[in-house]
Structure 1
Amino acid sequence: MRQNKYTLLPYILKYKWHYAIGVFVLMMVDLANLYIPQFIGEIIDGITSGILDIRGVEWVILKIFIAGIIIMIGRFGWRYFIIGASRGIEYRLRDDMFSHMETLSARYYNSHKTGDLMAYFTNDLQAVRMGTGMAVITTFDAVIMTIMVLVKMIVYVDFKLTMFAFVPLIFIAVGCYFYGMESKKRQVKRQDAFSFLSDKVQESIAGIRVVKAFVQEDEDFKAFEKACENSREKNLDVVKLRAFFGPALDAVIGISVIVTLIAGGKMVLDGQVSIGQFVAFNSYIDMLVWPMIAAGDCINTFSQAVAAWGRIKTIFEEKPDIVDMVPENPDLGISGDIKLDHLTFTYPDGTKPVLRDVNIHVKKGEMLGILGRTGSGKSSLADLLLRVYDCKKGMILLDGKPITDYPLSVLHRDISYVPQENFLFSDTLEENIAFGLEDRISDNPVISDEVKQAAKNACIHDNIMGFPDEYKTMVGERGVTLSGGQKQRSSIARALLKDSPVLILDDSLSAVDTDTEEKILENLVEIRKGKTTIVIAHRISTLQKADNVAVLLDGVIAEYGTPDELLKLGGFYSDISHKQQLENELG
């Protein structure tokens, strides 16, 4: 849904008829409630005056019963329409939030913690739902009920007595105003504390192995305890304010009841109102108690909702750094010719270029190897090819066209990427490998055979068949049940199954032994014929099958050529080759 200046109005308007019907039904319920005290008063006056016989009493009781049926059906109705609307708003808002977050760039996630983002989808969304559901009900109910009751008290009983009883209640409106302002401030702090606590829990669970390895359980618990205490204090601040406001309401209502008893009792004795009217009047006073209490609840709920929406709104206000420069065109495709033309790049928050004047031409079907020390710019180069970050136009050409001339969807479709940090979902191995496909395993059984072939090419098939559940094995969160090498090979199988024109392996063979590495590379050469492959590595053995190797040192191409040419050159590539060869012999 397109945001209109980042307000909830578009979501609410989508359910305008739900709210309209719900409020109308709510009015009918309140109107039915309004007649019950009057009917009771009529029975009392009729019996005391002797003008109402048993049939008359039965008729009034029948009217009370009919009013009760209307109330019962009506309460279901307004719950269905208004609460249903708030649930619909929550659903659409969550969907739009997630969709928008998927468009945000790496910079956003680098600067925001996972626990804080999760709080948006849980605590904050729940507060918005309450603000568009129960708070709407209580607000309309309080206003409608108050007006109806006051009119009924004036018309059916007495205007002067009504004013005596209602004047003390006016002070509640003033108190509600100040209560609302203070409540909003405390709600913001409460929700920030909840976000911090959520992030702490998520971080501790994700890093539990490191915590245990360094025997930091006690320190981690102390940090968690501190976050809990902070959240408790902020919640108590909200509770304390509400605890003060509730008794204050009761005190004002009590004063109103006392005034009613004194003034109303005198009017009964003077014959200005009947006993039945006085009983009904006291029932109406009781009915005014709910709107007064509801006023406090409304303000508290709306304060939470406003504070929560303020936090959620920051997500929608965040703009992606990387956007399409051209319209969507699914017919457009990449064949695999890549040219880096004087590529220079500095990160948005950096001051020093990580890549400087890089010139490389990878023809379609070639395999390019990239070697370099840690921090030399290898992964930055991969990020630029995937448009995780943008460089100046014309510095990266795909099939002779600037990379920005391709929609992001085309780049993501036609470039497969295996990152350094392999990520597996908490699902079966089969589903993890098939993740990049449009069809799911359950929808297309043929994919299962393709998954197995991709696993064989990545040399993970035999390991998988050794598991009790084979390809149905659940790998646990982030693939925690697999070894580093198994996770890497599973990620490679996922990329191979996608079979894109361009494949980038970012140090994706570092956790496998040399024999397995050799087999995987041989398979790559065979199955990637006619397709472009870029292999980033620290080990020379990983680059032996490459057509050309670029040596990156401090963001600059220091050496470039075939593996044999670089060995003869006697530079960085040759030195690393000799050192690693010696390590293998000594090992």
Structure 2
Amino acid sequence: MNELRYIKDVILKCKYKYIAGIICIFMVDILQMVLPKVLGVLTDKLKSGNFTKDDLVTYSILIVVVSISTAVFRFSWRYLVFGVSKLIEKTIRERLYIQYQRLSPNYYNVHKTGDLMSHATNDIDNIRMMVGQGVALISDSLLLPAAILVMLILTAGVKMTLAAFSPMIFLIIVVVSNVKNMHIRINRMQEAISDLTEKTRENISGIRVVKSFVQESEEVEKFKKSNLHNKEMNLKFVRIMSTLHPFVMAISYLTFAITLLYGGLKVIYSEITIGEFVTFAGYLLQLIWPIAALGWVTSIFQKGIVSLKRVNILMDENPDIVDSDDSISIDSLDWKIEMKHLNFTYPESHTPSLENINISLKKGKTLAICGKTGSGKTTLINLIPRLFNASAGTLFIDDVDINRISLSSLRKNIGYVPQDTILFSATIKENICFFRDFDDESIIKAAKAAGIHNDIIDFPRQYETIVGERGVNLSGGQKQRISIARAIIGNPSLLVLDDCLSAVDTHTEALILGALKEIMKERTSIIVSHRISAIKDADEIIMLDEGRIIERGNHDSLLEQKGIYCELYQKQLLAAKIEEEE
């Protein structure tokens, strides 16, 4: 029952529909008992010569009524049980998606996207099959044999019934002995489809890189290996089912053979009538379906249980970053940022990414961070919106430990432009407002400040232009500027720009920074960039190297130090002159 913990409330809420559906299945099974009995009675009447026209009309009407009633009850149980399974599918998929939103960024660093997609598709589909088709089949497989067993005993006695059912012992032994093996193979099959999904997603996302390096053939070979592994894992499961199904059918026909032999002898010795034999045989024919379905039912439940366990593991994951019990809102604070002896090491690493960072950034001031790749720039700014947790007592907003600030109030006051620009498959307008309630005037104003307005109005549909997946139909600079517009439209208290002007030329960069100056004047700002031209007007500039601050000051004081910053500035000046001459 604990395995159902994330869907138990939905099952309990719909329990009456489930019960009504199972009652309808029971009614179908009861009605199925009528036809063999009618055939038996008709056989005895025909043999005795007592069959009349009234009997013909009566039994014909009875069969029609039974057929219509069976159809009504069969529709009812399908509508009820499958309806509940669809509701459970919808609910668990929504809860899984909510869990995806709750999990911390680091979770996605160590788990494959393909595996997460498989949870939301294959695994949930298997759960739906288990709570829908599986429940219906298991109910039918229990109720129908029970009803048939009662009718067999009433028709031909206990001995003949036990003789007919004796081969079932071997069937139960075979099914039970294969349950564990089926569980293992289904688990491996699910893992294989997850790997295949990830491989496909990765290749489609990187198709332009694949084509630019002419690696189509190599990628096809990699896919073939993953696809072959998926096929092999599926075949291992199919082998079990391929063995089980013929065995089940053999048992069914063996049961019928025993009935024919034993029942025929009883007819010969006049222990039962021909009509009773026909009735008995008719019931046994109806028993073939639930017996044959036993392997299918086992497969559905094994797949569902494996998938349910996989989903439960993900649902049990707790986010690393959550609100503390004494969390507070910071809507009215001034956004003075302080870092005191801040150190940080990634969860999967043993080497510190930041060491002894001390920074004091007052409201309305701009901090610039510069340094070579891997020096810790992005790590540092990721601590401010708490994409990762800083140690207690090392990072403060208005003298409040950042770990005490509620995540919602912290993040909604931050305009963050990440290094890796992400746009969604929607219109430019929707990407800028990000489905928030902003009027057209605010959207255009933000676009102008980000230097993207003129580009947008050149598009045929302007702000209603559909952006392709991840902004594929835009240039790198256009994507970055739309991302900047998205960050500044909400008038955030803190603006964080993580090397977000790398894809624009120096002239466009100057225009954007000039437009942003007015916006940044009244708010705290942090700019990360490799270009000195983008950060030279900052109130304070820090140079990072291997997670440590090695130089700090404003532009002029850093030039006077004749250190790494000055050397970088001279190189960039020289590069700019060469570019102008060319």
- TM-score, length basis structure 1: 0.95
SS of residue matched to 2:73: helix
In the alignment, is the contact (CA less than 8 A) between 2:370 and 2:529 conserved in 1? yes
Does 2:520 correspond to 1:528? Answer: yes
Residue 444 (structure 2) aligns with:
452
What is the Cα deviation at residue 483 of structure 1? 1.0
What is the Cα deviation at residue 533 of structure 1? 1.0
Gapped runs of 5+ residues in structure 1? 440-445
Residue 30 (structure 2) aligns with:
31
Tell me how far apart the structure 1 counterparts of residues 202 and 3 of structure 2 sit (CA, whole Å).
35
Deviation readout 1:218-238 (Å, 9 max, x if unpaired): 111111111111111111112
What is the Cα deviation at residue 580 of structure 1? 0.7
Residue 512 (structure 1) aligns with:
504
Does 2:377 correspond to 1:372? Answer: no
Residue 118 (structure 1) aligns with:
117
Aligned partner letter, 1:220: E
Deviation readout 1:258-298 (Å, 9 max, x if unpaired): 11111111222222222222111111001111111111111
* 1:430-445 paired onto structure 2 within 5 Å: 430-435=429-434, 438-439=436-437
Tell me how far apart the structure 2 counterparts of residues 373 and 484 of structure 1 sit (CA, whole Å).
21
Aligned partner letter, 1:453: K
In the alignment, is the contact (CA less than 8 A) between 2:423 and 2:469 conserved in 1? yes
SS of residue matched to 2:60: helix
SS of residue matched to 2:370: strand
In the alignment, is the contact (CA less than 8 A) between 1:426 and 1:475 conserved in 2? yes
- Aligned length, in residue pairs: 578
Residue 442 (structure 1) aligns with:
none
Tell me how far apart the structure 1 counterparts of residues 426 and 372 of structure 2 sit (CA, whole Å).
35
Tell me how far apart the structure 1 counterparts of residues 358 and 334 of structure 2 sit (CA, whole Å).
20
Deviation readout 1:96-128 (Å, 9 max, x if unpaired): 111112111222111111111111111111111
Deviates more, 1:8-17 or 1:179-188: 8-17
Does 2:575 correspond to 1:583? Answer: yes
Residue 402 (structure 2) aligns with:
403
Tell me how far apart the structure 1 counterparts of residues 172 and 244 of structure 2 sit (CA, whole Å).
12
In the alignment, is the contact (CA less than 8 A) between 1:537 and 1:543 conserved in 2? yes
Residue 291 (structure 1) aligns with:
290
Identify the match of residue 492 of structure 1 among 484, 488, 499: 484
SS of residue matched to 1:385: coil
Residue 239 (structure 2) aligns with:
240
RMSD of Structure 2 on Structure 1 (CA):
1.8
In the alignment, is the contact (CA less than 8 A) between 1:334 and 1:501 conserved in 2? no
Deviation readout 1:480-531 (Å, 9 max, x if unpaired): 1111111110100110112211110000111111111111111111123321
Residue 87 (structure 2) aligns with:
88
Tell me how far apart the structure 2 counterparts of residues 58 and 111 of structure 1 sit (CA, whole Å).
72
Tell me how far apart the structure 2 counterparts of residues 24 and 335 of structure 1 sit (CA, whole Å).
65
In the alignment, is the contact (CA less than 8 A) between 2:327 and 2:404 conserved in 1? no
Tell me how far apart the structure 2 counterparts of residues 95 and 39 of structure 1 sit (CA, whole Å).
50
In the alignment, is the contact (CA less than 8 A) between 1:326 and 1:406 conserved in 2? no
Residue 231 (structure 1) aligns with:
230
SS of residue matched to 1:498: coil
Does 2:462 correspond to 1:470? Answer: yes
Residue 556 (structure 2) aligns with:
564
Tell me how far apart the structure 1 counterparts of residues 209 and 33 of structure 2 sit (CA, whole Å).
65
- TM-score, length basis structure 2: 0.96
Tell me how far apart the structure 1 counterparts of residues 81 and 315 of structure 2 sit (CA, whole Å).
25
In the alignment, is the contact (CA less than 8 A) between 1:6 and 1:316 conserved in 2? no
Tell me how far apart the structure 2 counterparts of residues 580 and 36 of structure 1 sit (CA, whole Å).
92
* 1:280-359 paired onto structure 2 within 5 Å: 280-326=279-325, 332-359=331-358
Aligned partner letter, 1:481: N
SS of residue matched to 2:111: coil
Aligned partner letter, 2:436: E
SS of residue matched to 1:369: strand
What is the Cα deviation at residue 6 of structure 1? 5.1
Deviates more, 1:535-544 or 1:343-352: 343-352
What is the Cα deviation at residue 449 of structure 1? 2.4
Tell me how far apart the structure 2 counterparts of residues 502 and 462 of structure 1 sit (CA, whole Å).
26
SS of residue matched to 1:371: strand
SS of residue matched to 2:373: coil
Tell me how far apart the structure 1 counterparts of residues 72 and 62 of structure 2 sit (CA, whole Å).
16
SS of residue matched to 1:464: helix
Residue 192 (structure 1) aligns with:
191
Deviation readout 1:176-200 (Å, 9 max, x if unpaired): 1123222212111111111111111
In the alignment, is the contact (CA less than 8 A) between 1:158 and 1:273 conserved in 2? no
What is the Cα deviation at residue 57 of structure 1? 2.6
Which consecutive segments of 4 or more residues in structure 1 shift more than 4 A?
3-8, 327-334
Tell me how far apart the structure 2 counterparts of residues 144 and 328 of structure 1 sit (CA, whole Å).
56
Relative to structure 1, the CA distance from residue 403 to residue 328 in structure 2 (aligned partners, 3 Å threshold; closer, same or farther) is: closer
Tell me how far apart the structure 1 counterparts of residues 553 and 5 of structure 2 sit (CA, whole Å).
53
Tell me how far apart the structure 1 counterparts of residues 303 and 347 of structure 2 sit (CA, whole Å).
36
Residue 461 (structure 1) aligns with:
453
Tell me how far apart the structure 1 counterparts of residues 340 and 329 of structure 2 sit (CA, whole Å).
26
